[in-house]
Chain A
Amino acid sequence: MTADHRPPAGAHRPPAGAHRPPGFDEVRDSAEFVALRRSFRRVVFPTTAGFLAWYALYVLLAAYAPDLMGTRLGGSTITIGLLMGLGQFVTTFAITMAYRRWADRRFDARAEALREQITGGAR
């Protein structure tokens, strides 16, 4: 897995004198970049707040409501605490898969388009 899939430097560079690639300041103020940053933050900030809150709830319940967490389900030795703990695994795996899917489908192409604007096709 190396950089073979990338176009060689300068492959898509416009002819000399046509367009100067935009600077970082121009890109940062462009509508595309502002939209990209907004959608990135709209995904990662609430998700982070969500899983941290869920983890905090779990830890606080384990510390201060051990009786509730130790409640057995039916006649088994499976407790509410064990299920909530396994639930932390499930949510971690689910967030990982969902984020990867979102980033692959919704983020990468837009980031790449901006990158090509800046570097004129090269990196």
Chain B
Amino acid sequence: MNLGNPLVNISIFGAFVAVTMVIVLRASRDNRTAADYYAAGRSFSGPQNGTAIAGDYLSAASFLGIAGAIAIYGYDGFLYSIGFLVAWLVALLLVAELLRNTGKFTMADVLSFRLRQRPVRMAAALATLAVCFFYLLAQMAGAGGLVALLLGITAPAGQYVVVAVVGVLMIVYVLVGGMKGTTWVQIVKAVLLIAGAGAMTVWVLATYGFNVSSLMQAAIDTAAAQGVEDPEGLIEPMNQYGATALTKLNFLSLALALVLGTAGLPHVLMRFYTVPDAKQARRSVVWAIWLIGLFYLFTLVLGYGAGALVGPEAIRAAPGGVNSAAPLLAYELGGTLLLGFIAAVAFATILAVVAGLAITAAASFAHDVYASVVKDGSPDPGAEVKVARRTVVVIGAVAILGGMFAVGQNVAFLVALAFAVAASANLPTLVYSLFWRRFTTRGALWSIYGGLGSCLLLIALSPVVSGKVDPVTGLSLSLVKDTGVDFALFPLENPGIVSIPLAFLLGWVGTMTSRPEPDHEAKADEMEVRALTGAGAEGAVDH
């Protein structure tokens, strides 16, 4: 099946790239200091940054994946989006303002504020790089999958080319535009994505007389007509997750990682440094919550709309499977042109997200590892930004190669893994260092390495890596394609339910078994006062 016109899809995407490239070039003029390059001179307003956060956070997985999951599994897809939204309250209440007041560029700034600089920075940078790497790989593989669906390219060579194009564009955006350019790309993308999804939502609702109950009834009817077993299951929970006690536990584990992971995602945290003060950081999150919440309400309508107008079996049969629900719905509603728009927006989404990840990883390497650990806090003037730019190129190359390797592999678990690492390695240490005065260096190191290590180990020993076999086809559903290899000792696909409590516990035990640093009292006083009052916080750069 070949949908729409690849030429239209590519032209609209090309227009997006051209417009954002002009904006990025204009934005690059003021990139002089580290604060310009990493934090856009801290000159974005709360509403601008909130829109960029939505652009950074709403990945292709959440747009195509959630709409598709709702179309095929119904209610369970909706459960996903609730975790993604509620999580923002953690960022709003506990993290955003305090982080903005005590840090400069990275999460490690806050974690190492009153602990021993080098070991804590190193640990925090490793956790940051791990999250960015997993997330980046998932996005790149997603780009490869998307071309199969939208451009009709299924040959691996064609998908490699697309992965390389996405990687090169990402390098150019971040290298030239820095944080300012990246932010504008995210803002433009967020506006297009939310406007496009909003227009389709109104269209679907209008088709059913603005009656949600009739829309859902139509989804059930279409599913029944296409021979889906238990079409009523579309409006009941546990259609997807509810097979066994184990799959339910898996779902709980995912729900926990989603709600606690968001406020520990390094590329989200870094966005709070692009505004002039804590009040604007607060406004950013308020805007982000409204936009993200609105968007997830749209996906609910789009998911059931795709179920009703296209039907679950037709979606499953399309190239791209679950992910094709939103594009198929766009084609059903508005033909070639709307499909072209949605396809371009999906690519723009991947581009904006990978750019945000690349600048976060580069900042963490240059600021935390190079400037603070290698050069002991006093790098040569200008050297740090130079290192950051080189890191961007390296990260781009790694992302392209990794993306080529991951295309066609079953890497959907990588996003869940990134959230699990963020919730286990980053969030506990962040909360402890902001709210627990006694917290020590050992507590931080045990918590970060314990959370990171347990996540990686449990994933390696889980069914996503080996031993999961499709009962019908007999084919492997794991990363290791040989069905004879099975070292899945840990039964869950999401490590969060074990690794998150473990990281909190390790932070506590590590702290209770060690002494605070010699200058603990003074540093703790300073951090506490600065976090709440904003005294001494990094201000905006004047040009």
Interface of A is mostly: helix
The distance in angstroms between the C-alpha atoms of A63 and B76, with both chains bound, is 10
The distance in angstroms between the C-alpha atoms of A63 and B529, with both chains bound, is 43
Which of B45, B282, B526 contacts A100 (CB under 8 A)?
B282
CB-based contact A24/B289 at 8 Å:
no
CB-based contact B537/A123 at 8 Å:
yes
Interface of B is mostly: helix
CB-based contact A92/B242 at 8 Å:
no
The answer to whether the Cβ of B85 comes within 8 Å of any Cβ in the partner chain is yes
Which of A24, A79, A89 contacts B529 (CB under 8 A)?
A24
The size bracket of the interface on B is 35 or more
CB-based contact A24/B85 at 8 Å:
no
CB within 8 Å for A92 and B44 given contacts A44-B93, A52-B259, A59-B252: no
In the complex, chain A residues whose CB is within 8 Å of the CB of B532: 33, 36-37, 40, 111, 114
CB-based contact B540/A70 at 8 Å:
no
- Chain A interface residue count, CB cutoff 8 Å, equals 55
Nearest neighbor of B232 in chain A, beta-carbon distance: A70
In the complex, chain B residues whose CB is within 8 Å of the CB of A28: 525, 528-529
Which of A77, A103, A104 contacts B213 (CB under 8 A)?
A77
CB within 8 Å for A82 and B293 given contacts A55-B86, A63-B248, A70-B237: no
CB-based contact A1/B276 at 8 Å:
yes
The distance in angstroms between the C-alpha atoms of A103 and B88, with both chains bound, is 17
CB-based contact B533/A88 at 8 Å:
no
The distance in angstroms between the C-alpha atoms of A51 and B296, with both chains bound, is 18
A-B contact count (CB 8 A): 170
In the complex, chain B residues whose CB is within 8 Å of the CB of A88: 82, 85-86
Q: How far is the CB of A102 from chain B (nearest CB, A)?
A: 11
CB-based contact B251/A63 at 8 Å:
yes
CB-based contact A92/B88 at 8 Å:
yes
The answer to whether the Cβ of B241 comes within 8 Å of any Cβ in the partner chain is yes
The answer to whether the Cβ of B92 comes within 8 Å of any Cβ in the partner chain is yes
CB-based contact A89/B213 at 8 Å:
no
In the complex, chain B residues whose CB is within 8 Å of the CB of A44: 93-94
The distance in angstroms between the C-alpha atoms of A78 and B214, with both chains bound, is 10
In the complex, chain B residues whose CB is within 8 Å of the CB of A64: 248
CB-based contact B252/A25 at 8 Å:
no
Q: How far is the CB of B86 from chain A (nearest CB, A)?
A: 5
In the complex, chain A residues whose CB is within 8 Å of the CB of B533: 27, 33, 36, 111-112, 114-115, 118
Which of B212, B216, B238 contacts A66 (CB under 8 A)?
B238
Instruction: Give the 5 A-B CB pairs with smallest separation, nearest first.
Output: A70-B236, A1-B45, A77-B216, A76-B213, A62-B237
- 11 A-B pairs within 8 Å (CB atoms) are namely A2-B542, A24-B525, A25-B522, A36-B532, A62-B237, A66-B237, A76-B213, A81-B237, A99-B92, A114-B532, A119-B536
Interface residues in chain B, defined as those with a beta carbon under 8 Å from any beta carbon in chain A: 43-46, 48, 75, 78-79, 82-83, 85-86, 88-90, 92-94, 212-213, 216-217, 220, 235-238, 241-242, 248, 251-252, 255, 259, 275-276, 279-280, 282-283, 285-286, 289-290, 293, 296-297, 521-522, 525-526, 528-530, 532-537, 539-540, 542
